[in-house]
A and B are shown apart, each in its own frame.
Chain A
């Protein structure tokens, strides 16, 4: 199948949607399909061979962060040319409602269009105000995919349409069997040692780092040798100031780790802790920790409960409760058998999130979109070679 994928955000900066698009494209190519990805990027930036740069992007504040996107007459011309040259069987756009290449591609498309919605905006005034204009974009889309139950809810409640829920994938092969960082995770015996991990913006309240800090400080006083490994963007001083001076040497800060290092970091801990207090629509980091065969302890959020199969693949604790978290951590650090049981179940669960599996489900949506456009049913073979 010839597939054209449009990414609205620039590959010059890392981000969730960009990673999703790259992993999906690589999985589809791995299944034997022809894929071309159109994304805003400078002509001279290093890009994978399947990416077509659509020119310089402009930084625009969007949904609480800065997105680098491309929009305007020059971009329109490039999108048109790419669509004509590509002669795609199906066009797959991401976040088509952002003012971006994706929206331009939808408006220029002729054949079947599949759209993936990533954001889970719970309430958007923009959406309700511009409903009439958005309808023109939406009615050119043949099939819709939502990456999480929350993103699907936005579809149903605010955009008046259904969507197939297909989760974010995780490249299990990139995480499994990676060497941990030298010297980690270290000793872990009943009553002593053990390493906890946290990855993300520790200054952002909804990531819940203070809950983990409270639990760690209490537990570290009872448990000699307990260490904490933190990775993510931020100033080291802001992090270490949160801890009493005598415990600071037991906290290690890696700073912002590149994508390849993430797997090693996750393999370097006994327990990965996700103390988030809300605002997570999917819980990508949990699937990554599961792929790295690390035991996960996470707050009891809807999104996390779904990924962890209701607590079978990782332990859940009451959201925002440092005492409950400390007890859970102490129990799991003392019980290697239970940790092994959780990771074994985690391996099974994460197999459902592996990119080749997820890409096959996306291919079925492509097939449905193509069929609905020409009214003919495609044979099963389109789903890809086994």
Chain B
């Protein structure tokens, strides 16, 4: 009965396609979740740096740095990238002394922020690549989530005089 084999073959192919789709949907979901968690970690590090900069400004460097830190803390989501870049620029204008604990806190926070930004960018890129694949678009997988957004800021690492690594 040749017709029988057609049915078996079609069933196997259909099962494989379904398995692939389920696997792809799971993959998209996982990458989306990862990008969101990385965004939360990045957010926390942005707040940390701004807070450390505000403390430093109150103790040592006056209004301009304080204002930049305040603006970065209060910025609305659509203004935040610009505000964070302003803060990076302000921090680059002041002389930071790595032996002073307040300065050290800002330097460390900036270094950690740079890592968080790097990881976030990579994970967002993975998630966007997965979302952009034709089969994912066709079946509208991951539609429960907004498209993952890059957080586009300059490298926040601060050049430290003498040594650029933590030698504490």
Contact = CB atoms under 8 A, between A and B. Distances in A.
Interface in B131-168: 163-168
Nearest to A363: B166
Contacts of A101: none
Given A139-B130, A142-B123, A162-B122, A368 B31 contact: no
Contacts of B122: 143-144, 161-162
B118 A162 contact: yes
Given A371-B44, A375-B37, A380 B165 contact: no
A100 B122 CA distance: 24
B112 A135 contact: no
A372 B116 contact: yes
A24 B42 CA distance: 27
Nearest to A386: B168
Contact of A372 (B31, B37, B168): B37
B165 A361 contact: yes
Interface of B is mostly: helix
Contact of A375 (B41, B129, B164): B41
Interface of A is mostly: helix
Interface string B93-133: 00000000000000010011001101111110110011000
B41 A372 contact: yes
Interface in B28-49: 31, 34, 36-38, 40-41, 44-45, 48
Interface string A137-176: 0110011100000000000000011111000000000000
A365 B115 contact: yes
A352 B162 CA distance: 11
Contacts of B168: 386
A199 B159 CA distance: 35
Contacts of B36: 375
A369 interface: yes
A364 interface: yes
A161 B48 contact: no
A357 interface: yes
B40 to A, nearest CB: 4
A123 interface: no
A373 interface: yes
Interface residues of A, number: 31
A101 B115 CA distance: 27
A160 B132 CA distance: 15
B126 A369 contact: no
A360 B166 contact: yes
A29 interface: no
Nearest to A160: B125
A371 B41 contact: yes
Contacts of B116: 368, 371-372
A228 interface: no
A368 B122 CA distance: 12
Given A161-B125, A368-B115, A374 B163 contact: no
Contacts of A377: 41, 44-45, 48
Interface string A50-65: 0000000000000000
Contact of B112 (A162, A351, A364, A369): A364
A352 B112 contact: no
Contacts of A374: 37
A38 interface: no
Contacts of B48: 377
Given A364-B111, A375-B37, A386-B168, A142 B44 contact: no
Residue of B122, B123, B126, B129 ringed by the most chain A CB atoms within 10 A: B122
B31 A375 contact: no
A150 to B, nearest CB: 18
A189 to B, nearest CB: 36
Interface string A344-379: 000000011000010011001101110111111100
Interface in B4-50: 27, 31, 34, 36-38, 40-41, 44-45, 48
Nearest to B114: A164
Contacts of A365: 115
A386 B116 CA distance: 23
Contacts of B163: 351-352
